[in-house]
Structure 1
């Protein structure tokens, strides 16, 4: 059994219709759709790609934001997930382990199997799908082949298909087409155990032109054309070779409406603010719709003062801090069994959203969002603190429209024409593939690790026996309903709420908001 995993960066699932994306719509109708699929928080690409390829949440793998400052790596420069040089610098600082849990490439290699990754978004995001450069795995960046490896294999693909497009255009229709060409000509004839094909659209178009813009819709149609080509290959020959198709998006988008200057507001509140702490500032701020900050000397009292100032601002939607109490051995199912508040009064414990890791910032915040419709009538708008401009797509927070993501399975291993209505997330995709090949023992444990989605499998009992798991236990787990939780905390006039679904000791956040 082999797998081809197709990634559609940033795709907002509700926009998938037969008119806009006929090939994907047909595949969804014929395959198995995860109807409650969610992105990991922060709902950002450079968080969710590591979540995908490790089968673990950020609390397990350590990529806690698209951008974050870790003085152990660099006292002045933040980690940025699109930057190969910064990824390599962080890897060296972490003694060669960028992630604190094994990657899919490593797990496959340990069993004598192989991964190939082709990706048309940033070179950094390609590397984040396979960061171990010495592993026997292909990592091909369409737009930066010089950052790809192994060099000889990359060159052989280019020799066969022709040079990839450079520089990248927006929307990146040509890059996606070249990647499909490369797969069909150079990868499909001799498939590895797992192939990842990651398309940068429609994320690029959403960010630059807006979610409902004509350009974004054109980008969706273009990437659907590539899916049609891949499905045609699969139906002609891949399915007979026991190839399973998986289609996912890493997050969705809402529309940003107005920029605020959070650094200026913090300075007005009496703090010194910089991009780092090396020159003695009170706060090192990583701004954004979803942002984070460190405080000088990691001082708890200073962090509490900063959090109090944030919660006084009308523009702040949610605030998270470190844990106030030791972790429970299991995720409590009843809200009254949970200590929702973080170590700072009024904030949420960052464990509730899966980002409690030594690399996590002192405070993580989300600017205010709402259910207000944007200029295209799509629900979900927010404030922002970035240079993208008003009226375009953004992601990172906990509005339901940006959390919900796409996941579709198709092939002999999966139920046909089905919708799974239990809670699933990005961390569950790889565990499902591993379980189908008898490697469930490699999955990270709860609450950090994901779980196999037995509910999506055509024969979960057979998969259970393959992994030496009692099929009756799996049947009981599948039949068990999700537990719904709504948690609140706050101080003064600031109150925030968090909605979660609990399944198999794993929490899936479905919404977060300021009340």
Structure 2
């Protein structure tokens, strides 16, 4: 019976895979397939990418558009944090947390099972299998489990979870104990995933490539080495296919933007109501919900946004109609019932930080020099995917575009399960050992401009495509001073 094992390292950039820092991950990248053009979905934040990994669709379809967002169908007057209590409240109201079927929901129709364990946020863990009580499988997190009865059982068997810390090594060690002894050895599901919150936590706290974040990654890699050793020795898993991935890339903060405060100072009403604006901060981007999709108000907001040095690319929902200077959110499948009316990705550069990692960006939080993500920066829109096992080619560098939306269909195909035609992702067949075809991709640039008395704002978004699957490569803006 085929088995698929997935290890996620939150915020791991391909450029960080170095033999001196993470030898186990590095060796796997040399032995198997290294996807050099792998993409998260935008915004490049964790919880929406976790949802895209298990649904195979973009955020416009699955309904979780950010780490913070407004669920118009649940509470249209409030910005929600996508954590387990809030997401569980949506589910308890009778509304779906995710609009499309998850990996476990599909596997359950053919008698297969998916189990995950993670030490990141509770919302990240919850998104993997929100309907687990109904469709089976399991999600394990320090704060809760699905099914709920599992939480107390694991506390009894493995003891209390260590306190959360930076680096979060103690929790990850505990998670790996449960993953090896309970998930793999006792339950032996068809698909099993373990999620490390490093190097993300340390990069937020100390910066990309800092000694502290490198040490955290090394410690997480050592636990991954435990997993590889177990798989090699286990009769049930010796021939398992292993995927290593991250949820997003990373940048270094140029400066922090209090976008709510700045909008208030500019005269906008931040709050519910027909003339109100709700702002969901997502690191390198901000999601702006305009009261009653007020087009005139939205136009004034865009006019104000482009006057700021931190303003990068701007998307607008088709609910508003055409707004000069914006690009339709639908070009990257980011237009849906819970998606914002206006999305601004902050401006970024490719300058190196002090540790020689490329990428700087403005951010809704944090401090200059620390790590952040969430924007359309090419350094955040390129993340990690490695594959090794009997199904995959050996020692292959794969250049065709791929993304987190491709994880679910690829896993289904590895297990011999029919992939739903409705999903956005594709099977990454170019990595398979028996593949003899050719992957054809194309790249398109979308451009929009808006002139004011003082300057001309121009933005550009670059999107790659393979068949119907689209991948956002980058998006940014430039400003030209108007000649008098």
Contact 2:40 2:248 in 1 (8 A): yes
Q: Is the 8 A contact 2:33 2:388 kept in 1?
A: yes
1:123-168 superposed Cα distances (whole Å, 9 cap, x missing partner): 2211111111413211110x21xx2133444444443333321x21
- Please point out which of 440, 456, 478 is paired with 2:431: 456
Question: Pick from 246, 249, 254: which aligns with 1:249?
Answer: 246
Q: Distance in 2 between matches of 1:105 and 1:74?
A: 27
User: Could you say what secondary structure the match of 2:400 adopts?
Assistant: strand
Instruction: Report what 1:23 is aligned to.
Output: 24
Flag structure 1 segments of 5+ consecutive residues without an equivalent.
326-341, 461-474
**Is 1:322 the counterpart of 2:317 in the alignment?**
yes
Equivalent-residue separation in structure 2 for 1:423 and 1:239 (angstroms)? 32
The match for 2:469 among 495, 503, 506 is: 506
Alignment RMSD: 1.9
Structure 1 residue 261: Cα displacement? 2.9
- Residue in 2 aligned with 1:495? 458
Q: Is the 8 A contact 2:79 2:279 kept in 1?
A: no
Q: Secondary structure at the match of 1:376?
A: coil
Is contact 2:72-2:338 (8 Å) kept? no
- The equivalent residue for 1:189 is 185
Q: 1:216, 1:238 → 2: CA distance? A: 35
Q: How far apart, in 2, do the equivalents of 1:100 and 1:157 lie?
A: 30
In terms of mean alpha carbon deviation, does 245-254 or 485-494 score higher?
485-494
In the other structure, the counterpart of 1:371 is 350
The alignment status of 1:136 with 2:115, answered yes or no, reads no
Find out whether 1:359 has 2:338 as its counterpart: yes
- Please state how far the C-alpha of 1:443 moved relative to its aligned partner: 5.0
- Tell me the matched-pair count: 470
Q: What is aligned with 1:74?
A: 75
* Unaligned ranges ≥5, structure 2: 479-484
- Distance in 2, Cα, partners of 1:321 & 1:245: 39
Change (3 A) 1:152 1:124: same
Indicate which of 301, 304, 308 corresponds to 1:309: 304
- Deviation, 1:30, is 0.7
**Helix, strand or coil: the match of 2:57?**
coil
Question: What is the distance in 2 between the residues matched to 1:245 and 1:154?
Answer: 27
Displacement after TM superposition at 1:322 (Å): 1.6
Structure 1 residue 297: Cα displacement: 2.1
**Larger helix percent:** 1
TM-score, with length taken from structure 2: 0.92
Label 1:22 to 1:156 Cα distance change in 2 as closer, same or farther (>3 A). Answer: same
Structure 2 vs 1, CA of residues 187 and 295 (structure 1 numbering), >3 Å: closer, same or farther? closer
2:212 corresponds to: 215
Q: Which of 242, 256, 259 is 1:259 aligned to? A: 256
Q: Note if contact 2:184-2:192 (Cα within 8 Å) is conserved in structure 1.
A: no
SS in 1 for 2:51: helix
